[in-house]
Structure 1
């Protein structure tokens, strides 16, 4: 699977370099392994291997851009921020429970 992620990023990078060099320039450098590990610890989970490999290639973008068709790749810090925001609003969602001891 690691090889497939690396190959996919290589194809994306090549295409962007040829067809959208401005977008290629906003791909961030890799996330440091300790940043990924700290984020996993903060969230109390292990990221899927594919996500880790992607973050090791590019830690999101250096600035906002439409690089990929569905959504932009998030940096580790943005993953943590999205989680924090969702957990803040989660209690207001009908039927949401944070665990077995929580009343819905």
Structure 2
């Protein structure tokens, strides 16, 4: 049996680890993160220039810039946003800084 623990790492895919149930992390200063990350970020379609997922998305918070990983060849350079749609769903989306016209869905808030 195991639980999850936050790790001091900027890259979302690497910001957690398995830990004994009930153990606590010392990282309490991290920005809001979704409970569910997709196994792979999903490219979002654009409609009228806005990212779209079950409706047009409204950017509520951001950008949070994450640039990390150059030293281990898993480099990311992204601007993350918390967005919502007309159904009240809150999403964690990003734009690759190297390809700013593309939006990706990376996680869902509970």
Instruction: Name the TM tier (shorter chain).
Output: under 0.3
- TM-score, normalising length from structure 1? 0.25
Say which structure is richer in strand.
2
Say which structure is richer in helix.
1
Larger radius of gyration: 1
- TM-score, normalising length from structure 2? 0.24
